[in-house]
Amino acid sequence: MSRVVARLKDLTKTYEMGSSSVRALDGLSVEFEAGSFWAIMGKSGSGKSTLLNLLGCLDRPTSGSYVLNGRDVAELSDDELSDVRLANIGFIFQSFNLIAELTVQENIELPGFYADVEEEQYVARARELAELVDLSDRLQHKPTELSGGQRQRVAIARALMNDPSIILADEPTGNLDSSTGDQIMDIIKDLNSKGKTILMVTHDEDVAQHAGEHLYLKDGRRQGSL
Amino acid sequence: MTDVWKKVVRGVRLGLKDISRHKMRAFLTMLGVVFGVGSVVAMLAVGEGASKQALEQIKKLGSNNIVINSIKPSSEDQQDAQRSRLSMYGILHADHDRIAESIPVVKRTVPVKLMQKKAALGELNMELRVVGTTAGWFELVRRPLLAGRYLTEGDVLQESGVCVLTEYAARKLLATQNSIGQTLRVGDQAFVIVGIVRNEDAGGGIQVPDQQNDVYIPISSCISRFGEVASQMATGSFQMERVELNKLLVEIDSIENVEPAAKAIQTVLERFHKKKDYEISVPLTLLKQAEDTKRTFNIVLGSIAGISLLVGGIGIMNIMLASVTERTMEIGIRRAIGAKRRHIILQFLIETVVLSGVGGLIGIVFGVTVPKLITIFSGMPTSVPLYAILLSFFIGVSIGIIFGLYPAARAADLDPIEALRHE
């Protein structure tokens, strides 16, 4: 039995919408083990996005606990959450979310820039990561000069910058054609095989097949299966 | 320490990079600060130049000195004199004695008698202002000696027929060092030239006691040779004036005593003159007034320029707010990756500070150049004081910080989830 990276216990998130409140997550409890590859699935409105935001430490739960690497992060301050994101979480978004004004190199460097790392160190690491995702010859290009698949590879390299314990992927192939999507999934699977924990939100059954574990959400609760 | 410095350098570099991506916009944003800082520096330079000129002239009069001038009373008081064709007014020798004896803080008095005479040296002649005075003149009105010597106490006691020429008059009369010992004819009298002094170019409002075309002779010789009555032709009629002393320079022992002494002199003169036929001018008072004026001038000019800086600051804030909206997505990405609020604040703040700093530097170049051009084209004196450069640059950058804070705080307070959703 391997180590648990992230443990959710009775995680609840309610949003106040005027007079009524919406319960986006309703007492969810899950354990994510180190090195596992999870697909988080569900229809829209099932609580996927909310769960992703909570897992990514972008938001705080209304109640319940979220222990990440042995530390309860449910009630941390904004600054502390930023530190947790910086060190532990690598995001891969559906729409890549690269900064258009920065070059590929600078985009990959970004998490290193915010971490207390020497400049020479993160510049070198960015080069290594670019090589890993096969973009060494595009370092000085702007994201707009790249194809969708290349952009997502930049995003993956960026997510790996600070060697996070979790890679959070939000529909990583959603904006890509199927063959490019397959290439991206290959990279993600490769990362997983090297020991990275991958939590991937998707509604695409085919993409979900790549994952070892599945979490089906409905109305903010876990379902056994679809 | 070096770590912090590295981070600052890195931050400024990133700020410059951000700015260089929107050159036109950055330039327009900067304009406000450029003109603000530029006008502060330029206005202070113009003000400083004007007051410096005034102050220098006043200082030439000596801040320990009091100058009493004889003035012709207004025509109404003069009715009697008009009829007799002899007008008598001004400071008397008796006044001189009274001031010298009754006011203890008076260190030195220099009586001055003035008259216009034609003077000739060899073939050349010119109209000179004859200054009958004492040796003390050269100690009060300090002018460098170019040749020969000044007048001495002995000259005055002996009523010697000697004179000292100004450089200007000497040039006009083609007198040189070799002319020392030659005879200058002044009116119908002969004076031996014993010295030549440099004279100041007196331009502007404040009068210095000496003029370009002066010839200095002992006051005793002046009285004995030319008499106390000066006659001149005026509008067809013959006019005669009896003025014992045209000027009395009074040196006071210390600067604190200058103003009380001026009051005492006023009292003494008032008692013996029923007509106001004298005028007391105190360079120190003028100096203080000039400094007051300068201060007021600077405040007024400074505030006008300050307003333009303020407008510049508002311009920066406006652009930065637009920039925050435009870059919401970027802010969301940076926050998701792990940037803290203060990282975002710093990013935007560095940008505004770099903008206003660069704008300030350009503004200083403007502010230094414009007064130079003013001086070249209008001849008005200007002087850029160092404090104006430092002050306006400091204010320019502060305005960048102050007006950059709000947009930066707005950016940092964006909810990362909301910001990421922003397209």
| Residues pairing with B106 in the sheet | B252
Q: To the nearest 5 percent, what fractions of chain B are helix, strand and coil?
A: 60, 20, 20
The owner of tokens 């700015």 is B19
Q: Using one digit for the tens of pLDDT, what is the confidence trace for A155-190? A: 999 999 999 999 999 999 999 999 999 999 999 999
Cross-chain CB nearest to B338 (options A53, A86, A101): A86
Q: Select from A59, A110, A114 the Cβ nearest to the Cβ of B417.
A: A59
Contact A211, A40 (CB under 8 A): no
Look at the alpha carbons of B73, B74, B79, B83 in this order and tell me if their dihedral is positive or negative: positive
Residue B235 has a CB neighbour count (10 Å cut-off) of 5
A61 contact residues in B (CB cutoff 8 A) = none
Tell me the C-alpha distance between B406 and B423, whole Å.
23
Q: Does the structure show a pLDDT above 70 at A215? A: yes
Contacts of A101 in chain B (CB under 8 A): 18, 21, 330
Residue B390 has which token pair? Answer: 């430092």
List A217's β-bridge partners, or say none: A222
Q: Render pLDDT for A124-151 as a digit per residue (tens, 0 to 9).
A: 999 999 999 999 999 999 999 999 999 9
Tell me what pLDDT residue B92 has: 87
Tens place of pLDDT per residue across chain B (423 aa): 567 777 778 778 877 877 787 788 888 888 888 988 898 888 888 888 877 777 777 777 677 888 888 888 766 555 554 555 677 788 888 888 888 888 888 888 999 988 888 888 888 888 889 999 998 888 887 788 888 899 998 998 998 899 999 888 888 888 777 788 888 998 888 999 999 998 765 544 455 677 788 899 999 988 888 887 776 655 556 677 788 888 898 988 887 888 888 888 888 888 888 888 888 888 878 778 878 888 888 888 778 878 888 888 888 888 889 989 988 999 999 999 999 999 999 888 888 888 899 899 999 999 999 999 988 998 888 888 888 889 888 988 898 889 999 999 999 999 999 998 886
ipTM of the complex: 0.94
The chain B residue lying nearest A87, using CA atoms, is: B338
- Partners of residue B34 on adjacent β-strands: none
pLDDT for res B49: 84
Residue B140's closest CA among B112, B176, B171, B159? B112
How many pairs of residues across A and B have Cβ atoms under 8 Å apart?
Answer: 60
Per-residue pLDDT at B199: 78
Contact between chains at B18 and A79 (C-beta distance less than 8 A): no
B354 min Cα distance to partner chain A (Å)? 18
Whether residue B200 contacts residue B60, with contact meaning beta carbons closer than 8 Å, is answered with: yes
Question: Residue B255's pLDDT is what?
Answer: 79
Residue A226 has pLDDT above 50, yes or no: no
Q: Do the Cβ atoms of B341 and A79 come within 8 Å?
A: yes
**Average pLDDT in the A105-123 region?**
91
Identity of the residue in B6, B18, B333 whose CB atom sits nearest the CB atom of A97: B333
CB-based contact A91 B336, cutoff 8 Å = yes
Chain A residues closer than 8 Å to B15 by CB: none
Of the candidates A122, A97, A101, which has an alpha carbon nearest to the alpha carbon of residue A111? A122
Residue identified by tokens 């007064």 is B371
- Alpha-carbon span A24 to B267, nearest angstrom: 96
Give the H/E segment covering residue A168. Answer: strand A166-170
At residue B85, the pLDDT reads 67
* CA–CA gap between residue B373 and residue B376 (Å, rounded): 5
Query: From CA A153, how far away is CA B404, in angstroms rounded?
Result: 35
How confident is the model over A35-85, as pLDDT tens digits?
Answer: 999 999 988 888 898 999 999 999 999 999 999 999 999 889 999 999 999
Check pLDDT > 50 for residue A202: yes
Average pLDDT (A201-214) is 91
Q: Which residues of chain A does B342 touch, with a Cβ-Cβ cutoff of 8 Å?
A: 79
Task: Please give the residue of chain A at the shortest CA–CA distance from B413.
Answer: A78
